Copies of this chain bind each other. A is one copy, B any other.
Amino acid sequence: MDKLCEFLREKGVSPSIQRLKILRYLKDSENHPTALMIHHEISRDIPTLSKTTIYNTMNLFSEKGIVSELCVGEGEVRYDLNLYPHAHFRCAECGKIYDVKIDPELFKIKKINGNQVVHTAVYFTGKCRECFGKDKENL
């Protein structure tokens, strides 16, 4: 827990218990959660946790560069810890989001058509290998 504390302090965020639990959850979860998923999960630990706090925290984390906001369709924002640059694949069938690796050159582009690039996002959509597997079983 101390490491996460340190981490938040370095980023200029004071480490409240709520913020720590949220950060910890982001680190452990594999599922690129929405704000409501985070709330649902952590309110089991902290029953009084409010959605407002989640939204506040996520916006703060986002400003501080701790997380990225993913918006791969669906009209809800999903969050992802900024560990290293990578792309995302979203299965249109089951909704699951996978991290995928692509040519890192794309993330090095800092200027395009005279515009200064600060952030680059790459989203693939389609049908994931699991959903493909299920199709075969049902034959």
Q: Which A positions have Cβ atoms within 8 angstroms of B?
A: 69, 71-73, 75, 77, 89, 91-92, 98, 100, 102-103, 106, 109, 112-129, 132
Contacts and interface: CB of A to CB of B under 8 A. Distances in A.
A115 B126 contact: yes
Contact of A120 (B92, B118, B123, B127): B123
A110 to B, nearest CB: 9
A122 B106 contact: yes
A53 B75 CA distance: 19
A125 B119 contact: yes
Given A75-B71, A75-B75, A102-B106, A126 B122 contact: no
A109 to B, nearest CB: 7
Contacts of A71: 71-73, 75
Contacts of A72: 71
Contact of A121 (B109, B115, B123): B123
Given A71-B73, A73-B69, A102-B106, A115 B120 contact: no
Given A106-B102, A122-B122, A89 B117 contact: yes
Given A119-B126, A120-B123, 17 more contacts: A69-B73, A71-B72, A71-B73, A75-B77, A91-B115, A106-B122, A114-B128, A115-B124, A115-B127, A116-B126, A116-B127, A116-B128, A116-B132, A117-B126, A119-B124, A121-B122, A123-B123
